[in-house]
Amino acid sequence: MLTVEGLQVTRGRTRVLTDLTLEVGAGEIAALIGSNGAGKTTTLMALSGLLPIAQGTATLRLDGQTFDLTRADPAKLVRAGLVHCPEGRQIFTRLTIEENLRLGAFLNRDEARVRALMDEIYALFPVLRERRHEAAGGLSGGEQMMLAIGRALMGEPRLLLLDEPSLGLAPQVTERIFDTLRDLNAERGVTLLLVEQNAMMALDIAHRGFVIREGRVELAGSGRDLLEDPHVMGAYLGLSA
């Protein structure tokens, strides 16, 4: 579904991605792990059109259609079904929860469809319905994460890029979020590309994992294989082999 080859991205004067190649198949959960500064967030930002791509190819194949990600703005990609749920959640704190969700479907002019989508999100996260007219800034960290995911789902993604869903959340809350992600994948067939510090949890639900180091993929394999790889264990899981 997503094919990336030899991707190079520069931020400021630093070349963050040097030569990134990866592939995600339809219906998969893929996890991108690596230490701080390895280029995980940059990868997602480049794929969703927020950062210009210096070199390399990135293509999205959906229902027989092909989209070139190297020269596309976010709006076009959202229309194609690629939605990016950014690092730090980035919900609109001064807007109400409902307004946040409405913006998730900004490009959708079919109000009835938007309403239906919103009801689905409320069913998924009932706490959002209870507080739908409150400013989103008042939500707890976990609730904000639910809102961020809900907002992303409003765009009816086929491929969802998720950046650090566990950031700043309590372990139980993180678990709840990851359960939701697994369900989304299994029941709705949403393909996920997940960036995580919490490598253990990410690899646990992932079909496929990529270890990034200094802007390139150092190691790739199934989630299970990587979990059991002694090198990965030592470097990224905080477990000595």
Residues forming contacts to other proteins in the complex (CB under 8 A) are: 48-50, 73-75, 78-79, 83-84, 86, 90-95, 99, 102-104, 106-107, 151, 155
Residue 180 and residue 61 in contact, taking contact as beta carbons nearer than 8 Å = no
Question: Cβ closer to other proteins: 91 or 199?
Answer: 91
Cα–Cα dist 171/18, whole Å: 34
In the complex, least distance from residue 174 CB atom to other proteins, rounded to whole angstroms = 22
In the complex, least distance from residue 194 CB atom to other proteins, rounded to whole angstroms = 16
Cα–Cα dist 188/184, whole Å: 5
Cα–Cα dist 188/169, whole Å: 25
Question: Cβ closer to other proteins: 156 or 204?
Answer: 156
In the complex, least distance from residue 37 CB atom to other proteins, rounded to whole angstroms = 20
In the complex, least distance from residue 240 CB atom to other proteins, rounded to whole angstroms = 38
In the complex, least distance from residue 112 CB atom to other proteins, rounded to whole angstroms = 14
Question: Cβ closer to other proteins: 72 or 232?
Answer: 72
Question: Cβ closer to other proteins: 75 or 239?
Answer: 75
In the complex, least distance from residue 212 CB atom to other proteins, rounded to whole angstroms = 22
Question: Cβ closer to other proteins: 39 or 86?
Answer: 86
> Residue 207: CA atoms inside 13 Å, Cβ hemisphere, count?
14
Query: In the block, which residue shows the tokens 């009816």?
Result: 156
Cα–Cα dist 122/149, whole Å: 12
Question: Cβ closer to other proteins: 19 or 87?
Answer: 87
Would strands 55-62 and 14-24 be described as parallel, antiparallel, or unpaired? unpaired
Cα–Cα dist 143/137, whole Å: 10
Rounded to an integer, what is the distance from CA 159 to the centroid of its chain?
8
Would strands 159-163 and 191-196 be described as parallel, antiparallel, or unpaired? parallel
